[in-house]
Amino acid sequence: MADPTPTPLTLADRSAIVTGGGSGIGQAIALLFAARGARVAVLDVSAADATLEMIRAVGGTAMQITCDVSRQAEVERAFAQVRDEYGDLRVLVNSAGVAHIGTIETTTEADLDRMYAVNVKGMYNCMRSAVVEMKGRGGVILNIASVASMVGIPDRFAYSMSKGAVLTMTLSVARDYVQHGIRCNCVSPGRVHTPFVDGFLARNYPGREAEMFEKLSNTQPLGRMGRPDEIAELALFLCSDAAAFITGSNYSIDGGFVALKM
C-alpha cells in the first residue's frame, strides 16, 4: 500500500536557475524556491539586486547573473557558472519574456523578431543547455507560457505566436527526454498584476489607471488579476517531487479565463 503521507514541497539541496528573475513572476518564483531550500541562480538581462536582497532576507542562497537569453553564448556561460558554483543543475524555470500589443497589421518585422528572439529562441537556448546538463541525472524544466497560447486574445498576434511556441516546445522536450529522467511542463497564466501591467497602464491610460485596471481584472471570471506569488506556488509544486508523475502538461492559472469564458 502506498504511503499516504503527502510529499513535502521542498527543493532542499537543489540548484535551480530562474530566468527573468529580476521582477514579476520570475522574482516571486526565485524567492519561493530559495525559501524552500534551493540554491537559486537568478538570470536577468538587467541587474536583479532587489531579488537577491529579498532572498537573503529569508535566509536563502542565491546569485545573480546578467544574461541575455536570446544569445546562446551568454546562456552557455551562465549555465557553466551555475554548475561551477552550485553543482549539477536540477531545476530550470524559463520565466524571461517580453510582451507586445498589436494585430498582424500593426506588428512590424522588428516587433516579430523581438518576440521570437526572447520568447522563443531564449527558451530554446535555456532548455538546450539544461537538457545537456540533466541527461543521465534527471531534472525538471518549467516554462512560463500564457493563456494566449490556447485562446485568441485581441491585439496579441506576435505575443500569441511566441507563447504558442512555448507550449509546443514544452511538449516536444517532454517527449524526447522522458526516458532521460527529465520532466518538462508549462504553466499558462492569465493576467497577473506585475510591474509590467502598471507600466502599461501608466503609458497608455494616464489618469485612468484605476479604471482600466478594474476593466482588465474583470476579464477573468474570478474578477481580479492573479498575483505573482500564486504562480510561484504552482511552479514550486511542479518542480518538486510531489509532481514526480507529471510531465508534458500545461496548467492554466487564470482565474477561470480559458475554461469559463469560452
- Per residue in 205-247, pLDDT tens? 899 999 999 998 998 999 999 999 999 999 999 999 999 999 9
- Would 245 be classed as within a structural domain? yes
Diameter of the chain measured on Cα atoms: 62
d(CA 134, CA 141) in angstroms, rounded, equals 10
Closest CA relative to residue 69, chosen from 17, 13, 135: 17
At 195 the pLDDT is 87
Query: Which 3 state secondary structure label does DSSP give 15?
Result: strand
- Per residue in 24-81, pLDDT tens? 999 999 999 999 999 999 999 998 999 999 999 999 999 999 999 999 999 999 999 9
The residue type of 122 is G
- Confirm whether 159 is a catalytic residue: yes
Q: How many domains does the chain have?
A: 1
- Would 63 be classed as within a structural domain? yes
pTM of the model: 0.94
pLDDT over 70 at 4, yes or no:
no
Q: Which domain holds residue 44?
A: 15-190+226-253
Percent of the chain exceeding pLDDT 90 equals 89
- Would 2 be classed as within a structural domain? no
At 200 the pLDDT is 82
- Would 202 be classed as within a structural domain? no
d(CA 58, CA 40) in angstroms, rounded, equals 13
How many angstroms separate the Cα of 77 from the Cα of each of 26, 67, 210?
20, 9, 43
- Dihedral angle computed from the Cα positions of residues 29, 253, 225 and 195, in that order, rounded to the nearest 10 degrees: 30
d(CA 41, CA 51) in angstroms, rounded, equals 11
More confident residue, 7 or 180: 180
Q: Which of 86, 116, 124, 159 is catalytic?
A: 159
- Per residue in 190-203, pLDDT tens? 999 998 889 888 98
Rg (CA), the chain: 18
Beta-strand relationship, 39-44 and 61-66: parallel
Strand locations in 156-249, DSSP E?
182-189
pLDDT over 60 at 123, yes or no:
yes
Q: Region 151-179: what's the mean pLDDT?
A: 97
- Would 197 be classed as within a structural domain? no
- Would 37 be classed as within a structural domain? yes
At 262 the pLDDT is 52
- Would 10 be classed as within a structural domain? no
d(CA 261, CA 255) in angstroms, rounded, equals 10
d(CA 186, CA 146) in angstroms, rounded, equals 9
Beta-strand relationship, 139-144 and 15-19: unpaired
Kindly report the CATH number assigned to the domain that includes residue 247: 3.40.50.720
- Would 1 be classed as within a structural domain? no
